[in-house]
Amino acid sequence: MHELSIANSILEAVRKERERLNGARVTKVGVRIGELAGVDPEALSFGFEVLVKDTDFEPLPLAIESVPRRHECSQCRHVFTVVDYRMDCPACGSTDSRCIGGDELELAYLEVEEL
Amino acid sequence: MSRLPLEQKVLSENDRIAQRLRERFLARGLFCLNFISSPGAGKTSLLERTLERFPTGERVALLTGDIQTDNDAKRLARFGFPVKQITTGGTCHLDARMIERALEDWPLESLDTLLIENVGNLVCPSSYDLGEAAKVVVLSAAEGEDKPLKYPAIFFKAELLILNKTDLLPYVSFDLAQARANALQVHPGMEIVELSCKTGAGFEDWMKWLARRRESAKAGTMLASGQV
């Protein structure tokens, strides 16, 4: 259960951005989480909600975009999404591919009210 | 309402410290491994048996993380190498700042190898870079062979899988071949060593991997510093 400390890192980053924006009102924060990141979206949402409660950030919804694992075929360079650990290329059938994404743990965007 | 793209890593602060550690390790030719497993898979036993095989003059040190107690540090200190316990006080993983703090009063120049035993947990430690050269995941025959599929993050990020407690195979329903297949499904090309800390079977393969990996890290260091 490290989602609470990850939620805290997100809130810290939001705090920094808000200062940079001279205290603009932040209305939403978007994050991107890969299936290989080892982070449970539900636990993260819950942790974030708890941290935001009774602070001047409230209400601050956290939008989580779940990102699948992506591979690039080493033969034909086709990029595909890996489902149920099936890693053979759907374009050419090659079993030789490499992982190019899916472990993201990123702050994607903030929505702020116009000053 | 306007949307500001951020495009930054959530754990950028941890990653920044980990990178600083990695540069310090590289500059001193220090080889660092981060051991991760569920509680009870045998990380401490693996390290005990490994230290036993090191010559006395080996320049190795250990950091061991636990939520409570210094039991592991006591077990590991018996071998005469420097050991420091990091008690996280509830936190389920080690982070780069804890490592940096623990190393503050340690002369890194006097070390060739640093072994970090993470908190027993198959999930959380996988998110935190500690500046290591490689992560090693330990899975034991007392667990299930489907663990790599259930916890893909750590099996994907670790360079080596150690399948421990092979001495239990006759008594448990653990399917070794399936465990290997599952790990390779999550992480094609992953290196796998089977061993038993209890009987010592397979231990030579692990010691060979360690020596080989340490050499390749050293070669990388020399390459980076222009010594070759």
Residue in chain B closest to A33 (alpha carbons) equals B10
* Interval B11-20 mean pLDDT: 94
* Interval B35-62 mean pLDDT: 95
Q: Report pTM.
A: 0.90
- Model pLDDT, residue B225: 58
Question: Do A9 and B1 lie within an 8 Å CB cutoff?
Answer: no
Task: Band the pLDDT of B224: cuts 50, 70, 90.
Answer: low
Give B226's contacts (C-beta < 8 A, 6+ positions apart): none
Residues of A in contact with B188 (CB under 8 A): 87
Q: What is the pLDDT of residues B160-197, one digit of tens each?
A: 999 999 999 999 999 999 999 999 999 999 999 999 99
List of domains in chain B: 12-218 (3.40.50.300)
In-domain check, residue A83: no
Q: Which residue has the higher pLDDT, B52 or B67?
A: B52
Nearest CB partner across the interface for B10, out of A85, A106, A114: A106
Question: Do B6 and A108 lie within an 8 Å CB cutoff?
Answer: yes
Reduce the DSSP state of residue A107 to 3 states and report it: strand
The answer, yes or no, to whether residue A30 has pLDDT greater than 90, is yes
- Model pLDDT, residue B163: 98
- Give the percent of chain A with pLDDT over 90: 83
* Interval B111-121 mean pLDDT: 95
Among B55, B150, B184, which residue's Cα sits nearest to residue B163? B184
Q: What is the pLDDT of residues A51-65, one digit of tens each?
A: 999 999 999 999 999
Beta carbon pairs, A and B, within 8 Å: 85
- Model pLDDT, residue B228: 47
Among B51, B52, B33, B64, which residue's Cα sits nearest to residue B162? B33
Q: What is the pLDDT of residues B68-113, one digit of tens each?
A: 888 999 999 999 999 999 998 888 899 999 999 999 988 888 999 9
The domain total for chain A is 1
Task: Band the pLDDT of B221: cuts 50, 70, 90.
Answer: low
* Interval B30-57 mean pLDDT: 95
The mean of the pLDDT values for chain B is: 93
Burial class (CB in 10 A: 0-12, 13-18, 19+), B72: buried
- Model pLDDT, residue B226: 57
The answer, yes or no, to whether residue B127 has pLDDT greater than 50, is yes
Task: Band the pLDDT of B227: cuts 50, 70, 90.
Answer: low
Distance from CA of B150 to the nearest CA of A (A): 10
In-domain check, residue A35: yes
Domain that includes residue A9, residue range: 3-68+102-112
Residues of B in contact with A114 (CB under 8 A): 1-2
CATH number reported for the structural domain that contains residue A108 in this entry: 3.30.2320.50
Q: Provide the ipTM.
A: 0.81
In-domain check, residue A85: no
- Model pLDDT, residue B223: 63
Q: What is the pLDDT of residues A62-107, one digit of tens each?
A: 999 999 999 999 999 999 999 988 889 999 999 899 999 999 999 9
